[in-house]
Structure 1
Amino acid sequence: MDRCSCARGNRTKPLVELVSVAICTACTNLDRAGVRKHIRAALATGANRDEILAVIRMGTIMSIHSCSLGAPILIEEAGTEAVASKAKSTVPTPACDRMKAMGQWNQAWDPFFALDPQWTDQFMTTAAGIYGSGVFSSKEIELLSIAFDASFTHMYAPGTRRHIKSALVAGASVAEIMEVLKVCVAFGVAACNLAVPILAEELAKLDGQG
């Protein structure tokens, strides 16, 4: 497939391996063999420790979608009275404030922020560190985020739409975004990686019994 790449200083770094690291390391996938393979390939193509570590950190924070899904349902079922006292909380939330200032706050986070602003701010400290670190450009962050949310082990539609919109605003082309989606599809080969060796083993056993 074509390489999706982005300029950084005097070198051009292929993003495809970092996208592959993202798909494999996502907390919804945790493909150990794939992570090792694509980290090795990313290093070979010029990615550095900080870039790969940032991708890994992004793979951990996507677990916030558990709250994106569950918190609105909790509020609906428990009633708005259950969050009234929390909404009036004066607990400082500097990390959340930083995310909002960077334009990276997602309104889908409002329900669990209302339920537990202090915990949300602790969680967002990691997210703010990734978005504000300067390791990746805004465009690169959005392309990687698309890979996490559109991956076949997650398929989180609200996040995919949000990050596609943001990627376009950040200067990504339709072709670049489509390349990320194509990389996601390519990882369907994991079905063969898992099942074909097992099939071969079972067929060998049958042959041995013949």
Structure 2
Amino acid sequence: MNRDAAVNPWGPSFDKLAEWDPDGAKVLLKVGTSPWTSGVLPRKEVELIALAIYCACTNLNEAGTRRHVRGALDAGATRDEVLLVFKLGAALAIHSCSLGAPILLEEMEAAGVKAADVLTPPTPACDAMREIGQWNTAWDPFYELSPSWTDDFFALGAAVYQSGVFSPRFVELLSIALDASITHMYAPGTRRHIRGALRAGATPEEIMTVLHLCVSMGLEACAAGVPILAEELDHRGRG
């Protein structure tokens, strides 16, 4: 089996499956490695998007993160590009507030509870996100409840879009991967970032390749499971 990371990111973990089920391994690898072999996206972009999927706070897969840090660096990614992917993976956690704050406001109204009456402080980071067209109305509820905290958080968001490290198109492709990943599957964000990617010039083929990358993560079931099965069979003398 070819262990070139550009062809088979999972390396020798698929060797035993290829021995036991060569046809099955061939089909899985053909589907799973399509983003690397199709040529729709440059390899560096494929590796950085894969890195986003594995390092995301909804996944935190250390082995996959290391594999795709290595792959991204081998493909020419810079330290700053890899760091920015990590920041996007961390920022994904804001969806806890996107989910919870509207529910909190509804339940406050039902219970007759009012928020503390305080003046809204200056929120320059949130203003910057609005000015560059990246404010999401789904963030209004937690901005209403915690404007200072929200501004602190979006100092990170504004920096991602204003850094110039990635093009707007590529930021949107990374964001699609984070939201559509099988460990998150956040439909509102997926739709918003697909819309943003098309607006920024991404093609449908590029967006589908991002979704194919999300699907390729499914091969981890075999990459992780088959070696364990082989070990347990060996322990029982049934290898």
Tell whether the structures are fold-level matches, with TM greater than 0.5. Answer: yes
- The SS at the match of 1:152 is coil
From 170, 182, 189, the equivalent of 2:200 is 170
- CA RMSD in angstroms, aligned pairs only: 1.8
User: In the TM superposition, what is the alpha-carbon distance from 1:4 to its structure 2 partner?
Assistant: 3.9
In structure 1, how many angstroms separate the alpha carbons of the residues matched to 2:172 and 2:114? 32
Deviation at 1:203, TM superposition (A): 1.2
Distance 1:73 1:113 in 2: 14
1:135 paired with 2:165, answer yes
Q: Which runs of 5+ in 2 are unaligned?
A: 1-33
2:103 equivalent to 1:73: yes
1:10-36, CA deviations, whole angstroms, 9 ceiling, x for partnerless residues? Answer: xxx631010011001000111111111
Post-superposition offset of 1:165: 0.5
Matched, 1:193 2:229: no
Is 2:234 the partner of 1:204?
A: yes
* TM-aligned CA deviation for residue 69 of structure 1: 0.5
User: What amino acid is aligned across from residue 187 of structure 1 in structure 2?
Assistant: M
User: Which structure 1 segments of 5+ residues have no match?
Assistant: 7-12
Measured after TM superposition, the shift of residue 204 of structure 1 is 1.5
**1:5 aligned residue:** 41
Q: Distance in 2 between matches of 1:133 and 1:204?
A: 52
Give 1:10's aligned residue. none
Distance 1:134 1:108, change over 3 A: same
Q: Alignment partner for residue 144 of structure 2, among 114, 117, 124?
A: 114
SS of 1:77 mapped into structure 2: helix
Structure 1 stretch displaced more, 100-109 or 194-203: 194-203
Residue number in structure 1 paired with 2:135: 105
Runs of 4+ in 1 over 6 A off after TM superposition: none
> Could you tell me how far apart the structure 1 residues matched to 2:40 and 2:163 are?
22
CA displacement 1:94-123 (0-9 Å, x = unmatched) = 000000101111111000100100000001
CA shift for structure 1 position 5: 3.4
8 A contact 1:22–1:55 mirrored in 2: yes
Distance change in 2, residues 1:83/1:159 (3 Å): farther
SS of corresponding position for 1:15: helix
Q: Do residues 60 (structure 1) and 90 (structure 2) align?
A: yes
Task: Check if 1:50 corresponds to 2:80.
Answer: yes
- Number of aligned residues: 202
- Correspondence for 1:152: 182
Q: Which amino acid aligns with 1:136?
A: F
TM-score calculated relative to the size of structure 1: 0.91
Do 1:75 and 1:82's aligned partners in 2 also have CA atoms closer than 8 Å? Answer: no
Provide the rounded CA distance (Å) in 2 between the counterparts of 1:195 and 1:44.
27
Confirm or deny: 8 A CA contact 2:41 2:209 kept in the other structure: no
Quick one: percent identity of the two aligned structures? 56
1:129-186: CA deviation from partner (whole Å, max 9, x where unpaired): 1111010111000000000000111100000000000100111110000000001101
Q: Is the 8 A contact 1:72 1:112 kept in 2?
A: yes
Equivalent residue number for residue 58 of structure 2: 28
- Does the CA contact (< 8 Å) of 1:3 and 1:14 recur in 2? no
CA shift, 1:197, in A, is 1.7
Does the 8 A contact of 1:75 with 1:83 survive in 2? no
TM-score (norm 2): 0.80
Query: Which one has more relative contact order, counting CA pairs under 8 Å at least 6 apart?
Result: 2
